[in-house]
Structure 1
Amino acid sequence: MDWPTRVDAALALQQALRTQVHLCDEPELPRTVAGVDGGFVDNGATVRAAAVLLRLPDLQPVAQAVAYVPVRFPYVPSLLSFREAPAIIAALEQLGQRPDLVICDGQGLAHPRRFGLACHLGVYCDLPTIGCAKTRLIGQHEPLGNERGACTALMHEGEQLGWVLRTRSGVKPVYVSPGHRVSLARAANLVMACTTRYRLPEPTRLAHQVASGKTVSVPSDKQNSQ
């Protein structure tokens, strides 16, 4: 993809690509899942993106990769994929194994133009993707129960875009929305299947660690960087 560097071109691309999003489940449950996240180094001039591949259902890390790509797009809240996605895609390509599912620290359908980072990654890579964000970008919801697994619909303009999900009792919820090739109905269940004792699902929790310069314990021959 020739990534745009202007806001008007990025908006136009989002509008064009959103029609390619498919919210339908794969016939088989995923056996591997990759978490992805991006951070910034060089005083914000470079994206350091991480991808960590885990085995399902035991969530054992099996590979990790890091990619560095110069930032070529300004900071615009609803256009973050144009800053981070090129590096995240590069990290995914270095894993050495194509994941069955990708969970990203960002939005999927729960986006003003229904095309957040998870949608962009899913359409570009043709992979099932889910957005699991720490904060809400748009939408409203009913009160949420305090227990682990409590879930309520995230609504915007009369349309359900995702779920508000309590992954751990007594902690703030996460905001889950499908990106591509995952149904709205299954998205929250898949995130819960990837969650242990922490607020964040293991794939994105570990990816955040790696994107922050740390490492996770995976086979040494699977660790890559660029």
Structure 2
Amino acid sequence: MRVDHLHPWPVTVEEAEEVQRRLRPMVRLDGPSTFGRVAGLDVHYRGDDELTAAVVVLSADTLEVIEQVVVHGRTTFPYVPGLFAFREVPALVEALERLAVPPDLLVCDGYGLAHPRRFGLACHLGVLTGVPALGVGKTRFTGENDLPDKERGSWSPITMDGETVGRALRTRDGIKPVYVSPGHLISLDTACDQVLRLAPRYRLPEPIRLADHLARHGTLS
């Protein structure tokens, strides 16, 4: 899979924030509404700087695994809220570049527009790859929202400064919501539709659930 290297990897907070400000105008929130292949992306840490990045590509229709890639490495960027992408994106890019079958949608463990500078990990990966991308967080990172109703499919908007940047979405009845935000080339409606479609049994959508398991254990089973 081809990835555009649009910037060198920064080493300071100021450089990283400047990259986000420079790439943010490239984000587009319109695109296709159906996808043939979807990829889940996740990173697992061992210690302070050792990490494993995993990408799992599934059929959107059957949720059968098509391809999987694991990359081991070390992060060189410090932990700074709002700049987490600079710890994880280099290894995820390496994993994506090893894919033989390019996905049509990236489902990222993280955030897209629901970010202090409106440029989370899903935005970053979407811009670098030119592939539609969305973020799914287990907790809310920024903004405000009410709790949605308890039924699957219920949602409430996540707002920042009067702007809707994502949704708290129930993927299972009575279970904590996930926090969905568009990253690139996808609308918020489509992002939520896809998360529900990809989460038929568990709270997390299947691509992320499998990528998390692969990153932690080195296997899908």
Give TM class, smaller chain. over 0.9
From 110, 114, 119, give the equivalent of 2:114. Answer: 110
Indicate whether 1:125 and 2:129 are aligned. yes
- Tell me the distance in 2 between the aligned counterparts of 1:124 and 1:12: 16
Q: What is the 5 A alignment of 1:1-226?
A: 1-26=7-32, 29-41=34-46, 43-216=47-220
- Tell me the distance in 1 between the aligned counterparts of 2:39 and 2:147: 31
- Tell me the distance in 1 between the aligned counterparts of 2:203 and 2:188: 21
Kindly state the Cα deviation for residue 30 of structure 1 after the two structures are TM-superposed.
0.5
Kindly state the Cα deviation for residue 95 of structure 1 after the two structures are TM-superposed.
2.1
What 5-or-longer segments of structure 2 have no aligned partner?
A: 1-6
Match for 2:41: what amino acid? V
Kindly state the Cα deviation for residue 123 of structure 1 after the two structures are TM-superposed.
0.5
- Aligned length, in residue pairs: 215
The secondary structure found in structure 2 opposite 1:34 is: strand
Taking every aligned residue pair, what percent have the same amino acid on both sides?
47
TM-score of the superposed pair, with normalisation by structure 1: 0.92
Structure 1 residues 61-107: Cα deviation after superposition (integer angstroms, max 9, x where no partner): 11110012321100012100000001011111222111000000000
Kindly state the Cα deviation for residue 186 of structure 1 after the two structures are TM-superposed.
1.1
Maintained 8 Å contact 1:33/1:99: yes
Maintained 8 Å contact 2:112/2:121: yes
RMSD across aligned positions (CA)? 1.2
Structure 1 residues 135-167: Cα deviation after superposition (integer angstroms, max 9, x where no partner): 101111233100111112111110000111000
What 5-or-longer segments of structure 1 have no aligned partner?
A: 218-226
The secondary structure found in structure 1 opposite 2:53 is: strand
Structure 1 runs (4+) greater than 6 angstroms displaced: none
Structure 1 residues 18-64: Cα deviation after superposition (integer angstroms, max 9, x where no partner): 010010112x61100000000123x3322210000000111111111
Kindly state the Cα deviation for residue 9 of structure 1 after the two structures are TM-superposed.
0.3
